[in-house]
Structure 1
Amino acid sequence: MENTKQKNQIALVTGAASGLGFELALLLAKDNYDLILADVDAEKLQKAKETITSEYASEVQLIIKDLSRNNIAEQIFQDLDGKPIDVLINNAGFGIFGSFIDTDWQREMDMLNLHVMTTTHLTKLVLKGMVERGSGKILNMSSLAAFQPGPLMSLYYASKAYILSFSEAIANELKGSGVTVTCLCPGQTKTCFQDVVSNGCKASDNKIKFNIGSAKEVAEYGYEAMLKGKVVAIPGNINKFLSKLPRFVSRNTATAIIRRIQEKNREG
């Protein structure tokens, strides 16, 4: 008897070993997507796979690569072996705290390569197939940081502004194609992000933490926005207000406020 079981759609998630990427992968698995999960942390990625497959019937393929390396998007695309990607979530990212004159250039170059080059190139490679099939969804991870300059995290803020602008532009280009692009712009979120930014400082250690969301809550908000085809998704009313801060005060004042928040959160 012929097997008529319909194949699951496939989702590719970068930075999927923990935090928002892992939570988004869980949501996709719950909706019966098969998963391709990419991350540099092999141990955590394997644990993420075990958790997902213990709860859901999704097939899970792992791609263990450093997404901050040059031309890594091409390598990942080759690892897909022709599989059609129905959902792409560009989640991988990290931040660097410190005065621009003092921060490490190699680390900054890696961050820019990850946020700008890998995100853009992987989107370009996957997007062509989506458009040819007339369907697909892309979720790019930006930040509340995208809406104003960020002293002491200058390149992080700038790179997130790039992701927002890029996502909005191609979302417009893709109208009527059956493909949507959503840019998720969360504020402070309880993930391991802070560990990387400031040498072990956790989100729970932040002095200014009235609007910190959980990774699960933020992922659910972003996932629903992606399913609806919303272009820009900002979780939380306080974050929505803060995203409009430069409209109400001068850019100099907004920049000074952001610097004070950065300094306050990392006081000893």
Structure 2
Amino acid sequence: MKKTALVTGAASGLGYKLALLLAKDGYSLILVDIDATNLKKVQSELHREYKCSVDIIIKDLSKPNVALEIVKEIDVVSVDVLINNAGFGLFGTFSDTDWQRESDMLHLHILTTTHLTKLVLDGMLKQNSGKILNVSSLAAFQPGPLMSIYYASKAYMLYFSEAIANELKGTGVTVTALCPGPTKTDFQNVVSGNTTNNKISFNMGCSFKVAQYGYNAMKKGKTVAIPGRFNKFLAVLPRFLTRNRATSIVRSIQDKNREG
């Protein structure tokens, strides 16, 4: 029987690239996104190119209890691979940014990701196999002034993934946190209402290469995957600096990106 993979945020960017890799490997796909137009295009493309089963679920993943709605919708389907990829950023000082947008981000990055993982994990444990890939970020390794909620929520995703990966040793289920640096996707265009803000061009990664790196790490059962040598260096750098110094450096970078 074909294995089934569930991917959130699959209408574009890393989610789309990861769905493509899964289709090439012969998985049946369940793709979730709020973008109905692009998701239907992805469904048609993957079905046409790879003759695989592609079911789509149009959901706003930032809303309460959406994880339960998704699991009820797929019903008896056993999920062999779960990729929690959906996410977005918000740029600006915490005192000025929109609370509703921040609340949506926290629901998406933290509550939906955690709840969906918990619900799908039950079935994986019963079948003694499964792979979970949570797309975190290089931002998870230090505080991020001007994107405080985004950095903090990605840190949660990293630590959550590492903790349950340890708990699941010996069960046949693995958890991987993918922590890419800036990557060429639509993410930069939705970071803020004013899309001229914080369009990072430095150290920009190729979305397909990042997806391939994370996918390979997931298949190997690696716990933390950081694409690129320079990104690996940046991930460990805060260990050798005071916390104030590390935070100040991030602030300086964010200010320069805003000015640029």
Shorter-chain TM-score range: over 0.9
What residue is the counterpart of 1:258 in the other structure? 250
What residue is the counterpart of 2:169 in the other structure? 175
**Aligned-pair distance for 1:259?**
0.9
Q: Does the aligned pair in 2 maintain the 1:194–1:201 contact within 8 Å?
A: no
Q: Does the aligned pair in 1 maintain the 2:226–2:232 contact within 8 Å?
A: yes
- In structure 2, C-alpha distance between the alignment counterparts of 1:202 and 1:259, rounded to whole Å: 14
Aligned pair in 2 of structure 1 residues 17, 201: CA closer, same or farther (>3 Å)? Answer: farther
Higher mean displacement: 151-160 or 247-256: 247-256
- Equivalent position to 2:226, from 228, 234, 242: 234
- Equivalent position to 1:18, from 12, 16, 23: 12
Q: Find out whether 1:136 has 2:130 as its counterpart.
A: yes
Q: Secondary structure at the match of 2:227?
A: coil
- In structure 1, C-alpha distance between the alignment counterparts of 2:242 and 2:190, rounded to whole Å: 31
Q: How many residues align?
A: 259
What residue is the counterpart of 1:4 in the other structure? none
Q: Secondary structure at the match of 1:140?
A: strand
- Equivalent position to 1:110, from 100, 104, 115: 104
Structure 1 gap ranges (5+): 1-6
**Aligned-pair distance for 1:201?**
4.1
- In structure 1, C-alpha distance between the alignment counterparts of 2:103 and 2:86, rounded to whole Å: 15
Aligned pair in 2 of structure 1 residues 201, 56: CA closer, same or farther (>3 Å)? Answer: farther
The Cα RMSD (Å) is 1.2
Identity in percent: 66
Q: Does the aligned pair in 1 maintain the 2:89–2:187 contact within 8 Å?
A: yes
- In structure 1, C-alpha distance between the alignment counterparts of 2:209 and 2:157, rounded to whole Å: 22
The 4+ residue runs of structure 1 with deviation greater than 2 A are: 198-203
Q: Structure 1, residues 132-164: CA drift from partner, whole Å, max 9, x if none?
A: 100000000100000000000001000000000
**Aligned-pair distance for 1:91?**
0.2
Q: Secondary structure at the match of 1:172?
A: helix
Could you tell me which amino acid in structure 2 is paired with residue 46 of structure 1? K
- In structure 1, C-alpha distance between the alignment counterparts of 2:252 and 2:20, rounded to whole Å: 36
Q: Does the aligned pair in 1 maintain the 2:125–2:172 contact within 8 Å?
A: yes
- TM-score calculated relative to the size of structure 2: 0.97
